[in-house]
Amino acid sequence: MKKTVVIESAWCKKCGICVEYCPVKILELNEDTVYIKDSEKCISCGKCEQRCPDYAIYLQKTE
């Protein structure tokens, strides 16, 4: 069971917190939301989910 990062763009307020603290630096902001530059590199550490004030980014279990 793996976990992948999911983004709920409608809730993202673009604070940049997840971007800053992603240890592998794969997140980035655009005009509207945060997005994942390279989801392959995600190590599923969950730091983005923990610190996102708006629940707009999180890890989801995938089979």
Partner 1 sequence: MPSEIIKKNLRTNRLPHIWCPGCGHGILMRAIAVSIEELNIDKDKVCIVSGIGCSSRAAGYMNFNTIHTTHGRALAFATGIKLAKPELHVIVISGDGDLTAIGGNHFIHACRRNIDITTIVFNNNIYGMTGGQYSPTTKTGDFATTAPFGNIDKPFDICELACGAGATFVARGSVYHVPNTIQYIKKGLTHKGFSVVEGLSICPTYYGRKNKKGSAIALMNELRDKCVNITKKESVNEKELEDNIYIGVFKDIITPEYTDEYKKVLDKFDK
Binding residues for ligand SF4, rule: CB under 6 A, are 5, 12-18, 22-24, 26-27, 34, 42-48, 52, 54, 56-57, 59
Site for partner 1 in 15-54 (CB under 8 A): 15-17, 20-21, 49-54
27 burial level (CB within 10 Å; 0-12, 13-18, 19+): buried
CB of residue 53 vs ligand SF4: minimum separation in angstroms?
6
Would you count residue 3 as binding partner 1 (CB under 8 A)?
A: no
Q: Which of 24, 10, 18 is nearest to 47 (CA)?
A: 18
CA distance 53 to 63: 27
CB of residue 28 vs ligand SF4: minimum separation in angstroms?
10
